[in-house]
Amino acid sequence: MKYLSILFISLFLSSQTFSQSTDLAEKLMKSHDKYRETTLTNRRFKHKDIQPLITRRGSNKTYEISKVAESFEGRSITMIKVGNGPRKIMAWSQMHGDEPTATMAIFDIFNFLDAKNDGFEELRKTILDSTTIYFVPMLNPDGAEKYQRRNAQGFDLNRDAVFLQAPEAKILKALQNTIKPEFGFNLHDQSPRYSAGRSAKKATVSFLATAYDYPRSINTVREKSMQLIVGMNRNLQKFISGQVGRYADDHEPRAFGDNFQKWGTTLILIESGGYAGDPEKQYIRKLNFMSLLTAFEAIAERSYARENKDNYEAIPENGRSLYDLIVRGVTVNKDGKSYLSDLGMNRNEVNYANATRFFYSAKVEEYGDLSTVFGTEEINASGLVIENGKVYPTAISSAQELKKLNAKDLMKQGYTYIKFNSSENDPQSLSIVYEQPFHLLKNGKTPSVSTPELGSPGTFLLKKNNFVKYAVINGCVYDLENFKTSKGNGIAE
């Protein structure tokens, strides 16, 4: 009876703790707009854009700011220390230059720590009194400058933990050696086409409790990673139900995450994926803000220790089951014969304006039977015939002329391509070009005359009884019976 009583009390206290954690998560999500760093709204921000945000905290006693290294091209790498507690945490973002979602969330957290009289005084005190957190918001500033994964040497920093030939990798290893953090947060972005398991749901956030050896052993260091992730997953499920994934934990001996775990730091790898209608990852940034703060509280109070590590394995493993668009069961006419096919298309980002902006470039990436995968958007093309669109006979010479064209009327007539004879290269004019729902052909380029197939541009018509039902321009769908346009979907090539 005594044992049962203790067990009951333990379970009751655990359920109370978990309930309080999800309540806090909800409060943080609702309050995020108050702390959101308004100067960071476009993912392609640069090193120079975050320097004023760091500098303005130089006189604030909450922070200890230090330049810890320089990148290969000479940009400063800064560490910001907060808190005075015994439990050391190290968090770094943008070791891949084109993975900035958590960087935005880190500056939101700084705004949160700066605030007063907002109802979160107890949380701030708990975190700052019980932990010391060492933030490196942008480990790879050279990669961020070009919005590319690798550093200026061409190294993937997350595969340089042993070789240590990149200055950015050397400082990360040196910081681990000197700080000896109990916990580490390795903050990344992943492809928006990962699915949570074999499902149609995007893996909006994914986790990994990295393995420190090939047998994927679980010692007390790694067990804490799993326990902390279990709690973070529970909080996230309130906002992105079924959209949390888990990476396969195969050991990668060159990776920092695996090595931090081996060096004695409990490592939590977080990946920000995709969320419908959130191309700049502003909602996912909000999820990062909430997840990190609740994790810091769990570390401060050691509440993660009540979690069952076995629940980590219940998080569905990341799958590659998603395309941006799937057209299902369309009729293809080729060489005098007809047959059915599915088409899977993805819209990939292409940088321009010194990697401060991007446009999409869509291709047909899979062709045939796609019954085992899913589309973020899907068209049931049963009874529809796929055809290439026509080239509009009048060439356009400026972005302003392009704005005057009636997209719906042209698509109804079967026009999908427009000749664009312009030398305009300034970002503003190009933005207008990419906002228009057209596939522009520059410098005399001509479209393919064959039926759309594997490797083709994602531009074509879907017809029924010889009338256009859908126009697909650069992988974006326009329903001619319920016509709507959205910005940023055009292409000029």
Tell me what percent of the chain is helix, strand and coil, each rounded to the nearest 5: 35, 30, 40
Whether residues 336 and 288 share a domain: the answer is no
**In a shared domain, residues 303 and 332:** no
Alpha carbons 410 and 305: distance in angstroms, whole number: 62
Say whether both 236 and 295 belong to one domain.
yes
How far apart, in whole angstroms, are the C-alpha atoms of residue 213 and residue 229? 20
CA atoms within 13 A on the CB side of 439: 29
**DSSP per residue, 183-203:** EEEEEEE--TT-EESSSSSB-
315 with 336, same domain: the answer is no
Taking the alpha carbons at both ends of the chain, their separation in whole angstroms is 76
Identify whether residues 301 and 353 lie together within a single domain.
Answer: no
Q: pLDDT averaged over consecutive 10-residue blocks of the chain (493 residues)?
A: 54 61 94 98 97 96 97 98 98 98 98 96 98 98 98 98 98 98 98 95 98 98 98 98 97 98 98 95 98 98 98 96 96 94 96 92 96 96 96 90 91 94 76 86 83 90 96 94 80 86
Examine the fold and report which residue of 262, 285, 319 is the final residue of a domain before the chain moves on. 319
Q: How far apart are CA 419 and CA 402, in angstroms?
A: 10
- CATH code, domain with 183: 3.40.630.10
Q: How far is CA 258 from the centre of its chain?
A: 21
Q: Tell me the residue type at 384.
A: L
Sign of the CA dihedral running 302, 91, 50, 96: negative
The per-residue pLDDT for 14 is 54
Contact 373, 398 (CB under 8 A): no
Say if residue 170 is in the same domain as residue 183: yes
Q: How much is the pLDDT for 16? A: 60
Domain boundary (259, 293, 319) is at 319
Same domain, 276 and 178: yes
Residues 251 and 327 in one domain: no
User: 473 is in which domain, residue-wise?
Assistant: 322-492
Of the three residues 301, 319, 337, the one that is the final residue of a domain is 319
Is the pTM value of this prediction over 0.75? yes
| CATH number of the domain to which 417 belongs | 2.30.40.10
- Residues 311 and 362 grouped into a single domain: no
For 2, 133, 134, 219, 485, the CA distances from 89, given in Å and listed in that order, are 38, 5, 6, 19, 46
Q: How many helices (H) and strands (E) does the chain have?
A: 12, 22
Q: What is the CA radius of gyration of the chain?
A: 25
Count: domains in the chain: 2
Task: Looking at the structure, tell me whether residues 346 and 360 fall in a common domain.
Answer: yes
Same domain, 309 and 326: no
**Amino acid present at 57:** R
The reply to whether 419 and 283 lie within a common domain is no
